[in-house]
């Protein structure tokens, strides 16, 4: 192998390592916009669950369920 080929392989290897590192950085980075949207949706869902819990634990709802079972 001549000096030109050794230099070419070294340059290609260096660019390959840099490209791999950049790929890993992009892959592990988190899109903050998407996280904010998901957090907002989570807050809405928690409010809905709290409302449903209030309805289900209400005495009149339970009485209605018992009447329906009869």
Could you give the C-alpha distances from 68 to 19, 38, 59, in angstroms and in order? 66, 39, 14
Whole-number pLDDT of residue 2: 80
- What local confidence, expressed as pLDDT, does residue 42 receive? 96
pTM: 0.49
- From first to last of its 70 residues, the chain has per-residue pLDDT tens of 788 888 888 899 999 999 998 888 877 666 777 888 999 999 999 999 999 888 888 777 777 777 787 7
Residue 29's pLDDT is 66
**Largest Cα–Cα distance of the chain, in whole Å?**
93
What is the pLDDT, as a whole number, of residue 33? Answer: 78
């Amino acid at each position: 192998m001549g000096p030109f080929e050794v230099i070419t392989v070294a340059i290609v290897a260096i660019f390959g390592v840099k490209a791999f590192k950049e790929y890993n950085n992009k892959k592990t980075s988190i899109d903050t916009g998407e996280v904010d949207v998901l957090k907002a949706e989570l807050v809405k869902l928690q409010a809905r669950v709290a409302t449903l819990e209030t309805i289900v634990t209400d005495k009149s709802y339970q009485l209605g369920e018992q009447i329906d079972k009869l």
